[in-house]
Amino acid sequence: MKNRIFLLYGGKSAEHDVSLSTARAVSHALDFSKYDVTPVFITPQGEWRPGPLLAGPAEQVTDLLIGEAGTSAPARLADGIGALADEAPGQPVVIPLLHGPNGEDGTVQGLLEVMDLPYVGNGVLASAAGMDKVVMKQLFGSVGLNQVPFVHFIRSEWESDRDVILAKVEARLSWPVFVKPANLGSSVGISRATDRVSLIRAIGEALRYDRKVIIEQGVDGREIEMGLLGNDDPKCSVIGEISSASEFYDYESKYQDGNTVLTIPAEIPEPAVTEMERMAKAAFKVLDCSGLVRADFFLTKDNEVLINEVNTMPGFTPTSMFPLLWQHTGMTYPELIEELIRLALERHAEKQSLNTDRN
């Protein structure tokens, strides 16, 4: 008896192509003798296209581009998935492989909660808070996590009080600064600014992708990442370091130019590793995370640790940092996916044990 796996991928997001690569990689790691795998492709326009069962792993990304037939109504898709799930002889599990808004931000997670389906990864709150860099950093601050200073604002504030915002940035931060859309990942829309002119240009770029912008103090330090895996008691992977020939680790550095070096495990002092583990677990818990998280840090020349952010749906191809961190910790890519499915079922079972009435 096979369990049913639903792969959700694509999405109405600037990170659509990253999601497709992730879905292809996951399809190669799934055991098709154990699972029936149903692909659900979400187009860049937001149309949901469930496809027939996969006969085996997708050889090319194009194999996952479900054709023109489909429905653009998520509610109707939910009915369809629900019906397929009811027909499946084993327990269905949804694996959302969506990066960015309309997928990683709690929206799809909320749909799956309403459908009462187990799904891999973080829940509604953690996904939403983890996507919004401002909310995330405010929560980090509530538990005293060391992080860089930042300024944030929304589009209407920029349009009405541009001079006030520029003055605030120059008063609170020093050059260089990094300007980011608050609700996006994969370094899309991020720019480095070294003066007021480049700052204004960078804000315009960030506002192309989001109505909220965050500006962070630049740090002269090493970029260190750590994976977390679990529900209530997450485990930490070994640490990895990112080195790039670019000015910063932008989208091209991550996915296109091939000039990025990942060093795993990274050589840093043991006290710094211990502090990163403490901070990563604190961040995981204050956001109420579950399943998986990648925590990103800066390590200064004085060995000061600052948490930058957590990613609740990190890049997940076999060459992405998160799977590589766990590979060096002793867990293969297929084993990692199996563990995430187990954690999803564990969390779902706990929710099923809760009372839904007053009796």
The residues annotated with a catalytic role in the active site are 15, 186, 320
347 annotated to bind ligand: no
Q: Is 178 annotated as a binding residue?
A: yes
Q: Is residue 94 a known part of a binding site?
A: no
91 is in an annotated binding site: no
**Does 309 show up as a binding residue in the annotation?**
yes
Does 2 belong to an annotated binding site? Answer: no
217 is in an annotated binding site: yes
Q: Does 198 count as an annotated binding residue?
A: no
> Is 311 known as a binding-site position?
yes
For residue 109, say whether it is annotated as part of any ligand binding site: no
Is 221 annotated in a binding site? The answer is yes
Q: Yes or no: say if 64 and 24 are a contact pair by the CB < 8 Å rule.
A: yes
Q: Tell me if 187 is assigned to a ligand binding site.
A: yes
Taking phi over 0 as left and psi of -120 to 50 as alpha, with beta for the rest, 267 belongs to: beta
Q: Would the annotation count 72 as a binding residue?
A: no
Q: Which residues are annotated as a binding site?
A: 133, 178-180, 186-187, 216-223, 296, 308-309, 311
Q: Which residues are annotated as a binding site for ATP?
A: 133, 178-180, 186-187, 216-223, 308-309
Q: Which residues are annotated as a binding site for Mg(2+)?
A: 296, 309, 311
